[in-house]
Amino acid sequence: MHRVRKIIADAQYQDYLARTAEAEKERIYCKHDYQHALYVARISCLIALESRRFELKPLVYAAGLLHDIGRWVEYATGEDHCQAASPLAEPLLFRAGFSREETDVIIEGIVQHRSPQGSKIGEWLARADDLSRDCYGCQGRPSCYKAQQMLRLHRSLEL
Ligand SMILES: [Fe+2]
Ligand SMILES: [Fe+2]
């Protein structure tokens, strides 16, 4: 099985997604569900390809899938979800077949996905995270602190 498919099929990954879904069931703003993980994985992969960093493709995709895996921990304890993701992601990545070195690069990106000056993967995840948001159809838009910034970003793409 492909390595990223192994992450998706991992029961522990599904359990973490379920915990976040439970914590977000009343949330009207963007959720941090599998759909979001998939959008971020795909968009950050496109950014990696646009940057001609083809060798990073599987690492970036895995980082996208796992970048918000610590959300439920943040809801439960207040620990920042970027940091909380690190011990959760590591065994998932090993079980999927990523090497120690690859795992370190992926985790560095995840931990830095909200840092202004992070690793390359962290930077791509942050951009993909913003681009993944569907502010146009969102019911939380009138009271969302990020909506105007996101809409400006989307307009700036001039697609
Ligand atoms: Fe996040
Ligand atoms: Fe995210």
pTM over the 0.85 mark: yes
Q: Does the pLDDT at position 149 exceed 90?
A: no
User: What pLDDT, in 10s, does the model give residues 7-42?
Assistant: 999 999 999 999 999 999 999 889 999 999 999 999
CA of 158 to the centre of ligand 1 (A): 25
Going by the DSSP 8-state scheme, the letter that residue 132 receives in this structure is: T
Q: Which ligand is nearest to the CA of 38?
A: 2
What's the CA gap between 16 and 152, in Å, rounded?
32
110 CA from centroid of ligand 1 (Å): 8
Q: In Å, what is the CA distance from 12 to each residue of 21, 23, 52, 86, 95? A: 14, 17, 33, 14, 11
What's the CA-to-centroid distance between 102 and ligand 1, angstroms?
20
CB atoms within 10 A of CB 138: 15
The alpha carbon of 14 and the centre of ligand 2 are apart by a number of angstroms equal to 16
Are 86 and 25 a contacting pair, CB within 8 Å? no
- Is the confidence at residue 125, as pLDDT, over 80? yes
Q: What is the pLDDT of residue 25?
A: 95
Q: How many whole angstroms separate alpha carbon 23 and alpha carbon 139?
A: 19
CATH class of residue range 3-134: mainly alpha
Residue 2 alpha carbon to ligand 1 centre in Å: 25
* Dist CA 45 CA 42 (whole Å): 5
Q: Please determine, for residue 1, whether its predicted confidence score (pLDDT) is greater than 80.
A: no
Counting other chains too, the contacts that 141-144 makes at CB distance below 8 Å and 24 or more residues apart are: 144/29
- The ligand with the least distance to the CA atom of 132 is 2
140 neighbors 29 (Cβ within 8 angstroms): yes
pLDDT digit string, tens, across residues 68-96:
999 999 999 999 999 999 999 999 999 99
* Mean of pLDDT over the chain: 93
Query: Considering every ligand atom, which ligand is closest to the CA of 74?
Result: 1
The Å distance, Cα 97 to ligand 1 centre, comes to 24
Dihedral (Cα; 2, 134, 82, 25), 10-degree rounding: -90
Cα of 71 vs centre of ligand 1, distance in Å, is: 7
Separation of 91 CA from ligand 1 center, angstroms? 19
Burial 74-94 (b: 16+ CB within 10 A, else e): bbeeeeebbebbeebbbebbe
